[in-house]
Structure formats: structure tokens, C-alpha cells
Amino acid sequence: MSPVETPAYLARQPILNREGRIFAYELLFRDSPDNESAIIKDGVRATAEVLENVLNNIGLSKLIGNHKAFINCSREMLLDNIFGPLDSRRFVLEILETVSAEPAVVSIVKNYHDRGFELALDDVVFEENNLKRIEPFFPYVSYVKLDLVENTPEALKAAVPYFKERNMVLLAEKVETESEFKTCLSEGYELFQGFFFAKPQLVTGSKIDGTTAAILRLIQFLRGDPTLSEIEQAFLGQPTIAQSLLKYVNSEAALRRKPILSISDAVMWLGVPQLQDWLMLMLYARPEMGENLQSAPLFQNVSQRAKFLESLAVVLDPKGALPAQAFIAGIMSRMDALVKAPLPSILVEFNVDKEIADALLRKEGRLGLLLRLVDAVEGDQRKEVGICVRELGLSSEVLMRCLSAAYGGGSCG
């Protein structure tokens, strides 16, 4: 197997600022999706290989855009200097809570700091003895991550002035609810990380509106490889969306000699892939997403998971209906957060296929197993990733290629 083909498993979780925009991603690298001891046995070698292979295959810009990347660092990884070749402007080295501030480690941390790297302390427990243990790192640290589970509310509050006096940015980890987010926000935390941002808290009672349902149907329709004439008829059946499409393609009229007046010409101008991307943007263009849609964590999450699911499904069922179903299931799996309504009621109103509904609600069938897999990848649940990969009959190499396809828009085949 060539270096480019070496299997690697990647998980990515957004870190948000006070405005709810993506500030950075934490990247979790593994040399195998289903072997929990792999990194422990030879962490330096495995991490070095995965850093090289994943970043070469996917590309840093495709993986994190113009954001920063936080990477976990054990004692051995720091001392072996495997992060030296990385761009110090893009990577934040996150010192794990298991690392002791012995002189040799503090010295290498100072070296990284002097070379322009920002450093973070992971899973800090705000308690006197622990603070004394990690204090030698303080002059070189820019970010401090405090776990909401491991710290008491009193400790989380007291940590703010303590670390701000030392010019450190506070990051709240494991933010699971809106209440926790608002509390940390009011106390002065600057950055936030946790499942609350991947699956926002639901507000029951809302209904999916007609335009949203129509956009979803058009997205699903386009995955079925329709003819140009069929696409035109589908859009003409949705006058509001058709009008928006014509307005969009004519927004850069200076690039053409004359305006585009027909749906068929608009489709030919854009191409089906870009048309699908435009529909996705339409779908997630809601007030709560703000002006900079591409920075919205919900949009980024749903776009990547839909493409990842589709890439896996193409391997499992290259000529069947599974890829189109997987893509729409990926979108629907975050629809509750978009329209702020319970998923079961959304599925009824959208009238989705029973197979998609069973997968979304009960994780049944191959489609349900794919949804379990993408949830496990996003949550860095390595044991569950391994179970799903084996049950689906996929290899680590295929998983790696499909992750690359989802991030970079390439092919998983």
C-alpha cells in the first residue's frame, strides 16, 4: 500500500466564537477507525502518518477553510517534534491534561511558542493543586479549555478572572444545552465547543413551510440524474424557486452578453452540481444562520455529512437508489435544527420514503447503519465506527477515501 493509500480516520468538531461563528476546528486523528489501542501503542508514529496522509489527501484548506486547527498533543508527540513542519499560523497545539510540566516538556513548549505556535491547555480542572501542576505552561499558553462536566459551576465562574488576568482566552468544552451556552457567555467565556452546536436545541410547534419542502424535493429529484427537460418542468412547478434561480444566475450579468431568461438556460449555465449547491444554500438561508452562511456550523455540518453519506452509499450500491437516499437522509438528519420542529412531524409533512424515515427515526437498514456511522465519526466514537464499518462491509481505506470525497468534493470510488 502506498503512503497516499494508508488508511486514516478523522473526526472534526467546530469551535465557535461568541457570535456563534466557527473560529476553529478540533481535529482528532486516528490510524484506524476500529482499534482503540492503535494510537496508544505508538502514538507518535501513528499521528505523524495520519497528519501527513490526511492533510495531503484532503488538503488543509478543504479540511478547515480559513480557520485554525486545534490538535491534541501528548508528551511523546511534543518531545518528538512531529508538529514542527506544520504552519504555525494555522495550528494550535493542545496540551493534553495527562502531560506533566516537567522541565524537558516545558522547554519544548517554549520552543513551539517562540516559533509562533499558539498553545492550548486541554480539560483544565480549576482546582488549586491542578493549577500548581500546570502553572509552568502558563507563560506560553493562549487558550484554556474548561470541561463543563469536570468543573463545578462555581469553578467555571471563578476561572474567568483568573485566566483573563494571565491573558488567556477561555474555551468552554462539552456545551450541551442552550442554558449552559448562555451562562458561559454571560460569565465571559470567548470560545465554545460541544454537541449543542452540532444539534441545536429544538423548539416544538413549528411546521415545515412549503418552500422548504419544495427545495428538499428538488434536491432529491436532482440526485436521480434527470434530463434537462425534466429539470425545467420541475422548477416551473415551483414558480417562487424558479424566479429566485433566474435572479441568482443574472446577478453577474456583466459576465454575459445578455440576461438568462429561461430555466433550461440557467441550468445549462450553472450545471447540475452547482445547481444543487445553490439549492442547499437556499435551504439553509434562514435568519438564524446570519449573513456569512458558509461560516454557520449547521450548514457546514449538514453539507459535509450529506456528501459523506452519499460517498459511502455509492460504494455500497453504485447503481441503485441508496446514494440519493443517503444524501437526502443526511440533509433531513439536521432538518429539526433548521426548522425548529420535531423530526417525526417534519417527516410526515415532507412525506419521505418509509426507508428514509425508518433510518432517521430508528436507524434501521443499511441507511440507518450509515447514519449511525456518520454520527460516530462526528462524535469520535471509535468503537461504534468500527462496528458500523464491519457491519457495512467497508474497509478503513474506503472510509478514508469517502471522508476525502466529502471534504474535497472528489470521488470515493
Listed in sequence order, the residues at least 6 apart from 342 whose beta carbon sits closer than 8 Å to its beta carbon are 202, 204, 336
Res 194: pLDDT: 82
Res 181: pLDDT: 87
Residue spans of beta strands (DSSP E) within 197-266: none
For residues 20-49, give the mean pLDDT. 60
Rounded CA separation 11/374 (Å): 10
pLDDT digits (tens, 9 = 90+) for 317-337: 988 888 888 888 888 887 776
> Cell numbers 427545495 label which residue?
215
Residue of higher predicted confidence among 200 and 406 = 406
Res 208: pLDDT: 55
Residue of higher predicted confidence among 311 and 352 = 311
Res 46: pLDDT: 52
Residue of higher predicted confidence among 160 and 327 = 160
User: Helix, strand, or coil here: 291?
Assistant: coil
| CA proximity to 92, closest of 147, 15, 20 | 15
- Mean pLDDT for the chain overall: 79
Listed in sequence order, the residues at least 6 apart from 43 whose beta carbon sits closer than 8 Å to its beta carbon are 74, 76, 77
For residues 26-51, give the mean pLDDT. 55
For residues 3-23, give the mean pLDDT. 68
Q: pLDDT-based confidence at 281, cuts 50/70/90?
A: low
Contact 19, 35 (CB under 8 A): no
Res 163: pLDDT: 97
For residues 260-274, give the mean pLDDT. 86
Res 339: pLDDT: 63
Task: Give the distance, in angstroms, between the CA of residue 170 and the centroid of all CA atoms in the same chain.
Answer: 22
Res 254: pLDDT: 43
Q: Is the pLDDT of residue 349 over 80?
A: no
Q: pLDDT-based confidence at 165, cuts 50/70/90?
A: very high
Q: Is the pLDDT of residue 381 over 50?
A: yes
Res 292: pLDDT: 43
Res 352: pLDDT: 72
Rounded CA separation 232/13 (Å): 39
Q: Which three cell numbers stand for residue 385?
A: 465506527
Backbone angles phi, psi at 124, to 5 degrees: -75, 130
Rounded CA separation 115/100 (Å): 22
User: What burial class does residue 409 get, using C-beta atoms within 10 Å of its C-beta: 0-12 exposed, 13-18 middle, 19+ buried?
Assistant: exposed
Listed in sequence order, the residues at least 6 apart from 173 whose beta carbon sits closer than 8 Å to its beta carbon are 123, 145, 146, 147, 148, 193, 194
pLDDT digits (tens, 9 = 90+) for 205-247: 445 566 777 887 888 788 778 899 999 999 999 888 888 888 8
- Residues in the chain, how many? 413
- H/E run at residue 250: none
Which has the minimum average pLDDT: 53-62, 94-103, 370-379? 53-62
Q: Is the pLDDT of residue 118 over 80?
A: yes
| CA proximity to 282, closest of 303, 306, 304 | 303
Res 400: pLDDT: 78
Residue of higher predicted confidence among 413 and 193 = 193
The type of residue at 259 is: P
Rounded CA separation 223/230 (Å): 13
- H/E run at residue 154: helix 153-164
Q: Is the pLDDT of residue 123 over 90?
A: yes
Res 143: pLDDT: 98
Contact 168, 119 (CB under 8 A): no
Query: Domains plus CATH for the chain?
Result: 3-198 (3.20.20.450), 210-408 (1.10.3210)
Q: Is the pLDDT of residue 33 over 60?
A: no
Within 10 A of 191 (CB to CB), how many other CB atoms are there?
21
Contact 362, 6 (CB under 8 A): no
Q: pLDDT-based confidence at 52, cuts 50/70/90?
A: low
Share in percent of the chain as helix, strand, coil (round to 5): 55, 10, 30
Residue of higher predicted confidence among 83 and 360 = 360
pLDDT digits (tens, 9 = 90+) for 172-186: 998 877 788 889 999
Q: pLDDT-based confidence at 50, cuts 50/70/90?
A: low
Residue of higher predicted confidence among 406 and 393 = 393
Q: Is the pLDDT of residue 286 over 70?
A: no
Res 92: pLDDT: 94
**H-assigned helices in 120-164:** 128-134, 153-164
